[in-house]
Amino acid sequence: MARQPRLHEFRLIEQLRRAFGRTGAAVARGIGDDAAVIAPPKGRQMVLTTDLLIEGVHFDLRTASFEEIGYKAAIANLSDIAAMGARPEYALVAIALPASCTTPRILRLYKGIMGACRPYRVALIGGDTSVSPNKLFLSLTVTGSVPAGCALMRSGAQAGDLLYVTGTLGDSLAGLALLSHGRRRATPSLTSSERKFLVGRHRRPIAHPGLGQLLSEHRLASAAIDISDGLSGDLHHLCEQSRIGVEIDAAALPLSPALQAYARASRTDPVALALQGGEDYELLFTVPPAKRRTLHRLARRAGRRLTCIGMIRPEAFGVRVRETTGRLRRLPVTSYVHF
Amino acid sequence: MARQPRLHEFRLIEQLRRAFGRTGAAVARGIGDDAAVIAPPKGRQMVLTTDLLIEGVHFDLRTASFEEIGYKAAIANLSDIAAMGARPEYALVAIALPASCTTPRILRLYKGIMGACRPYRVALIGGDTSVSPNKLFLSLTVTGSVPAGCALMRSGAQAGDLLYVTGTLGDSLAGLALLSHGRRRATPSLTSSERKFLVGRHRRPIAHPGLGQLLSEHRLASAAIDISDGLSGDLHHLCEQSRIGVEIDAAALPLSPALQAYARASRTDPVALALQGGEDYELLFTVPPAKRRTLHRLARRAGRRLTCIGMIRPEAFGVRVRETTGRLRRLPVTSYVHF
């Protein structure tokens, strides 16, 4: 029943409000009240997602900076919004801080969060702060909006649809491996720019709300999910929700030159890295064949790299990979552990 | 870079979806996708709040049950929604679970959350789950809606307005004291029903969204806040945001008979308990004198207890208490520590 002044917390909230708060036509009330008040955009549905990041589970303070932790927490949420085909709009940040977190560190964490949000003009409208008994704990809620009826679900894929992915796969996992102890010596043939590319893909992944909106607004995708737990794990979610099977073409998986160099240097299978690598934050989506040409035209115009990596099959087919040898094998459900 | 199947987590999410998920006209997509999709109600603004509860800071697993922890986490959020004059609608739950949390315990926690939400038909639409290295972390986001322009802010109070509070104050703090070690022996004269009442007020507080909506929809309150950190602390927030002072009438503070009995038995000042007791989750609000009669009429019709406990003064007046002796004293900023 001890009581203590919490002026420190109030000062922090005031600093955050000044640095990152925004009010305007759509935000009637931001940081500093019991709750935020916003005007939802007309004719649109709201999209809401929450993601947790916990020290010792999702990040390690010995290898990640405070700004990077904040940045990646925001990207995880923005990527979920992108996977719904929605435009990200608002963020609420709940954070529990161990005693070792000084105010400059906390501000760097928020700088990371808002750095990831800035390209999309996402406003920080609220949150909660608390002390933590030991570990740093971060929970973000991000909202967005999508034209009514246009949200991309995991459940709409049908046999015959084409399976697409944005960008390249496995880079983040290779970057994480390079950051881990002892891997530098194991891959002496990697150039420093390859190293930098892969580590950068792990430390500063990007989300794809622009492409997500293109897919939803032009009604191109029948289903979508983002790759946070690894292609293999997230593909299984898509299959489960759409009640479909899928055939992945291993030879088609988009691999960056740096990942290929890493795989050679570390004597690992680049296809395995692409299938299991988490935190890519690329979009995985299905497209009816009749919409293929429109998709390619719009993606080219938007300057976005898309790759068709397989085809949706009936549920009984399961989830299988066509290897480069032509052999078809089952893809086991694996899930990414963050470090 | 270990990888592990997370089937356990997927099973839990599926169980939660079956037990608590809801889809309908307003919920296009609930639990089980990258994000939830809802249709915001027409002509209304959205209200969003997030609250954290952390083991060792806000609750103690030795004295609180899992259901109680979930219940109180939800009440903290529902009370914030009530303080905006809004109708609570949706909840997202982010939760980090230590290894000791078995599935039945987790389900009891959610049962507590949804038990608090049920009277308001709040739907669980999403969240995130994770393991935790040691402590239990719980972060809830609750949304609601309010007719456009009617939200109650902390910032609208003006000198001359009357200061009101719902229910009675200090009960939760007394209940917490009774739960703490050794206090039973120190208060032998308390009856078991007094004890039960106070402990119940601590374990099962209630939120007041109905009254909040009455205040906003009839435009009765000029400002409002909920009492989560104690009357003293929350009153200071109200004063800061409205740039006003306040005079509290100590003799008018609503005290339950059980609290008065507790104060006598423990030789503590009941006014101090009422001023500093946290987790009351009562509403504190200001009303222009011209609206006083309408307020009383509507509150009586709704069967709600309201008490005028003071008056808003100019900012220079500060925050003062008129003691029963007639003496005016400054009220220091204190804040509640949860156990």
Indicate the residue of A34, A80, A96 with minimum beta-carbon distance to B80.
Answer: A34
Question: Does residue A1 carry a pLDDT above 80?
Answer: no
Q: Which tokens is B53 given?
A: 């509860």
- Give the residue from chain A lying closest to B181, CA to CA: A1
What is the reported pLDDT for A336? 56
Question: Does residue A339 carry a pLDDT above 60?
Answer: no
Whether chain B has a CB inside 8 Å of the CB on A137: the answer is: yes
Residue from B34, B122, B131, B284 to probe the interface with A (highest A Cβ count within 10 Å):
B34
Predicted confidence band at B63 (pLDDT cuts at 50, 70, 90)?
confident
Contact B135 A130 (CB under 8 A): no
E strand or H helix at B214, and its extent?
Answer: helix B209-217
E strand or H helix at B140, and its extent?
Answer: strand B137-147
DSSP B61: T
Question: Does residue A121 carry a pLDDT above 50?
Answer: yes
- Rounded to an integer, the average pLDDT of A315-328 is 94
Length of chain B: 339
- Rounded to an integer, the average pLDDT of A283-312 is 96
Q: Point out the least confidently predicted range of A154-163, B11-20, B130-139, B208-217.
A: B11-20
What is the reported pLDDT for B17? 79
Contact B54 A133 (CB under 8 A): yes
Q: pLDDT tens across A263-278, in order? A: 999 999 999 999 988 8
User: How far apart are the C-alpha atoms of B85 and B218, rounded to whole Å?
Assistant: 10
Query: Where is pLDDT greater, at A191 or B18?
Result: A191
Question: Does residue A183 carry a pLDDT above 80?
Answer: no
Which residues in chain A are classed under CATH 3.90.650.10? 162-330
What is the reported pLDDT for A10? 65
Q: pLDDT tens across A43-98, in order? A: 899 999 999 999 998 888 888 899 999 999 999 999 999 999 999 999 999 999 99
What is the reported pLDDT for B4? 38
E strand or H helix at B89, and its extent?
Answer: strand B87-97
SS3 content of chain B, % helix, strand, coil (to 5): 40, 25, 35
Indicate the residue of B52, B96, B229 with minimum beta-carbon distance to A128.
Answer: B52
Three-class SS of chain A: CCECCCHHHHHHHHHHHHHHCCCCCCEEECCCCCCEEECCCCCEEEEEEEEEEEECCCECCCCCCHHHHHHHHHHHHHHHHHHCCCEEEEEEEEEEECCCCCHHHHHHHHHHHHHHHHHHCCEEEEEEEEECCCCCEEEEEEEEEEECCCCCCCCCCCCCCEEEEECCCCHHHHHHHHHCCCHHHHCCCCCHHHHHHHHHHHHCCCCCHHHHHHHHHCCCCCEEEECCCCHHHHHHHHHHHHCEEEEEEHHHCCCCHHHHHHHHHHCCCHHHHHHHCCCCCCEEEEECHHHHHHHHHHHHHCCCCEEEEEEEEEHHHCEEEECCCCCEEECCCCCECCC
Which residues of chain B does A99 touch, with a Cβ-Cβ cutoff of 8 Å?
none
Indicate the residue of B84, B93, B129 with minimum beta-carbon distance to A34.
Answer: B84
Question: Does residue B9 carry a pLDDT above 70?
Answer: no
- Rounded to an integer, the average pLDDT of B155-164 is 96
Indicate the residue of B1, B151, B176 with minimum beta-carbon distance to A176.
Answer: B1
Contact between residue B304 and residue B211 where contact means Cβ atoms under 8 Å apart: yes
Contact B37 A47 (CB under 8 A): yes
Q: pLDDT tens across B245-289, in order? A: 999 999 999 999 999 999 999 999 999 999 988 889 999 999 999
Q: Under CATH, domain A7-147 is a member of which superfamily?
A: PurM-like, N-terminal domain (3.30.1330.10)
Q: pLDDT tens across A188-209, in order? A: 889 999 999 999 999 999 999 9
How many CB atoms neighbour CB A5 within 10 A?
A: 12
CA dihedral B53→B58→B59→B60, nearest 10 degrees, is 120
E strand or H helix at B144, and its extent?
Answer: strand B137-147
- Give the residue from chain A lying closest to B175, CA to CA: A1
Whether chain A has a CB inside 8 Å of the CB on B128: the answer is: yes
Q: Give B 149-168 residues with CB within 8 A of chain A.
A: 149, 151, 153-155
How many CB atoms neighbour CB B321 within 10 A?
A: 21
Contact A37 B28 (CB under 8 A): no
Whether chain B has a CB inside 8 Å of the CB on A89: the answer is: no
Contact B225 A34 (CB under 8 A): yes
- Give the residue from chain B lying closest to A180, CA to CA: B1
Contact B33 A155 (CB under 8 A): yes
Which residues of chain B does A129 touch, with a Cβ-Cβ cutoff of 8 Å?
52
- Give the residue from chain A lying closest to B228, CA to CA: A34
Alpha carbon of B93: minimum distance to chain A alpha carbons (Å): 8
Indicate the residue of B35, B144, B177 with minimum beta-carbon distance to A49.
Answer: B35
* β partners of residue A95: A129, A138
User: How far apart are the C-alpha atoms of B119 and B113, rounded to whole Å?
Assistant: 12
- Give the residue from chain A lying closest to B80, CA to CA: A34
Phi, psi of A28 (to 5 degrees): -70, -30
Which residues of chain B does A84 touch, with a Cβ-Cβ cutoff of 8 Å?
33-35, 37
Query: Where is pLDDT greater, at B305 or B11?
Result: B305
Alpha carbon of B253: minimum distance to chain A alpha carbons (Å): 21
Predicted confidence band at B338 (pLDDT cuts at 50, 70, 90)?
low
What is the arrangement of strands in the sheet containing B137-147, beginning at the earlier edge strand? A27-29, A36-38, B44-54, B137-147, B87-97, B123-131
Which residues of chain B does A127 touch, with a Cβ-Cβ cutoff of 8 Å?
50
Which residues of chain B does A131 touch, with a Cβ-Cβ cutoff of 8 Å?
57
How many CB atoms neighbour CB B302 within 10 A?
A: 11
Instruction: Provide the whole-model pTM.
Output: 0.91
How confident is the prediction for chain A on average, in pLDDT?
Answer: 90
Whether chain A has a CB inside 8 Å of the CB on B7: the answer is: yes
- Give the residue from chain A lying closest to B76, CA to CA: A34
- Rounded to an integer, the average pLDDT of A144-167 is 96
Which residues of chain A does B208 touch, with a Cβ-Cβ cutoff of 8 Å?
none
Q: pLDDT tens across A206-252, in order? A: 999 999 999 999 999 999 999 998 999 999 999 999 999 999 999 99
Largest CA distance in chain B: 69
Indicate the residue of A35, A40, A127 with minimum beta-carbon distance to B40.
Answer: A40
Phi, psi of A50 (to 5 degrees): -130, 135
Contact between residue A335 and residue B4 where contact means Cβ atoms under 8 Å apart: yes
Whether chain A has a CB inside 8 Å of the CB on B63: the answer is: no
Indicate the residue of B6, B132, B334 with minimum beta-carbon distance to A54.
Answer: B132
User: How far apart are the C-alpha atoms of A138 and A59, rounded to whole Å?
Assistant: 11
Contact A51 B94 (CB under 8 A): yes
- Rounded to an integer, the average pLDDT of B134-148 is 94
Contact A335 B6 (CB under 8 A): yes
Predicted confidence band at B320 (pLDDT cuts at 50, 70, 90)?
very high
Whether chain A has a CB inside 8 Å of the CB on B230: the answer is: yes
A-B C-beta contacts closer than 8 Å: 248
Whether chain A has a CB inside 8 Å of the CB on B25: the answer is: no
User: How far apart are the C-alpha atoms of B36 and B127, rounded to whole Å?
Assistant: 9
Contact B38 A52 (CB under 8 A): no
What is the reported pLDDT for B334? 67
Q: Under CATH, domain A162-330 is a member of which superfamily?
A: PurM-like C-terminal domain (3.90.650.10)
Q: What is the ipTM of this complex?
A: 0.89
Question: Does residue B239 carry a pLDDT above 50?
Answer: yes
Whether chain A has a CB inside 8 Å of the CB on B182: the answer is: no
Q: Which tokens is A61 given?
A: 């303070």
Contact A33 B95 (CB under 8 A): no
What is the reported pLDDT for B335? 58
Question: Does residue A180 carry a pLDDT above 90?
Answer: no
Q: pLDDT tens across B108-131, in order? A: 999 999 999 999 999 999 999 888
CA distances from B245 to A66, B154, B283 (A): 39, 13, 18
Query: Where is pLDDT greater, at B10 or B278?
Result: B278
